[in-house]
Structure 1
Amino acid sequence: MAVRWRRMLGWGAVVALFFAAQGFLNRDMASGPAPAIESRFLDGSPASLDSLRGRPAIVYFWASWCPICGAMEDKIESLAGDHAVITVAYQSGDAAEVARHVTERRLDWLVVPDPDGTIGATYGIRGVPAFFVLGPDGTIRSRSVGFTPEWLLRLRLWLAAG
């Protein structure tokens, strides 16, 4: 019985540590109304969060040099098939470099290049991948940094809709 309690306490400590780390990493991330993204997508069209109004959406910050972001690609591809997703290529080079990466990886996303990290700074990100789930009114309902399972992002989108 004592071994069982010790094991449960150990797992409780791991869970508490996880949430403490998330709180620390998320402490400076934007909250409230989502900061505007005033830039252009890779195809040259204007990038705007206004197109996302009326439905839950994700603003996803990623980088071409980030291995965790590479592991998230298929999850983002799946989400983008069902939900509004805007991705921001954080400090991954200029538009031509980002376009080359997107083509090589066969990514079919709306991508805004952020070569100098200006957009990332307005969102207060400290690392990638970073996710902001927006409600239909454009407010940030959820935010996280690091690998996030697709099912959890879908749950956050569902919660943001209500």
Structure 2
Amino acid sequence: MPKKRWQRLLLEASLILAVILGAQYWQTRGLPEGVAPPLVGVLTDGSPARVGAGDTATLVAFWSTWCPVCKAEEGNIVSVAKDHRVISVAMQSGDAATVSKHLKEREIDLPALVDADGRHAANWRVRGVPTHFVVDGAGNIRFRVVGYATTWGLKARLWWAENFPA
């Protein structure tokens, strides 16, 4: 392939990467960094939910029953939960009975922290769903992802948070 063609391909790839990184930066602006905000409550299965120092790396996934993108990625979150700690937060999706019914209907075997009034979402400055945070074992937010997230992308971020302390 001629040198000019390689230069053009490299330039185009660089521009695409710049657009992707710029969009990611724009989407995550204003989301918390550093020490994770408190997230304490009871999951739909009755178990306690909390994020903080002393825990293993955790994926905190904000979603809603009415969100089509959340429905498209729910299998990814369930797959991640098989190997990693996940706290699923059902934002503005009704009460515990409504959220539990939704999870059962969708055959999702993953309890959720019900955030009917959006209090937890506001505390984490979540403006839209889905929004994901990877919190390391020391309670620090290591990664923030807004929008559709792949299984391998989430698992890679969790692996990094577990193996490379901040």
Provide the TM-score with structure 2 as the length reference: 0.88
Q: Does structure 2 conserve the Cα–Cα contact (< 8 Å) formed by 1:77 and 1:107?
A: yes
Aligned mates of 1:19, 1:116 — CA distance in 2: 32
Secondary structure of 1:68's match? Answer: helix
- The aligned length equals 161
- CA change 1:150–1:45 in 2 (3 A) is closer
1:100 corresponds in structure 2 to 101
1:34 aligns with 2:36: yes
Which residues in structure 2 correspond to 1:37-116 (within 5 Å)? Answer: 37-49=39-51, 53-116=54-117
Q: Does structure 2 conserve the Cα–Cα contact (< 8 Å) formed by 1:133 and 1:140?
A: yes
2:10 corresponds in structure 1 to 8
1:18 aligns with 2:20: yes
Secondary structure of 1:98's match? Answer: helix
Residue 34 (structure 1) shift: 1.3
1:133 corresponds in structure 2 to 134
Q: Does structure 2 conserve the Cα–Cα contact (< 8 Å) formed by 1:55 and 1:161?
A: yes
Residue 58 (structure 1) shift: 0.6
1:156 aligns with 2:157: yes
Aligned mates of 1:135, 1:37 — CA distance in 2: 14
Aligned mates of 1:135, 1:49 — CA distance in 2: 9
Aligned mates of 2:41, 2:58 — CA distance in 1: 18
Higher relative helix content: 1
Aligned mates of 1:87, 1:125 — CA distance in 2: 14
Secondary structure of 2:60's match? Answer: strand
Residue 75 (structure 1) shift: 1.1
Secondary structure of 1:125's match? Answer: coil
Structure 2 gap ranges (5+): none
Structure 2 residue identity aligned to 1:158:
W
Q: Does structure 2 conserve the Cα–Cα contact (< 8 Å) formed by 1:85 and 1:110?
A: no
Deviation per residue, 1:95-151 (Å, 9 max, x gap): 121111111001111200111211011111121111111111111111110112111
1:123 aligns with 2:124: yes
Aligned-residue RMSD, C-alpha: 1.7
Aligned mates of 1:85, 1:100 — CA distance in 2: 20
Secondary structure of 1:106's match? Answer: coil
Structure 2 residue identity aligned to 1:32:
G
Structure 1 gap ranges (5+): none
Q: Does structure 2 conserve the Cα–Cα contact (< 8 Å) formed by 1:25 and 1:126?
A: no
Identity, % of aligned positions: 40
Structure 1 residue identity aligned to 2:60:
V
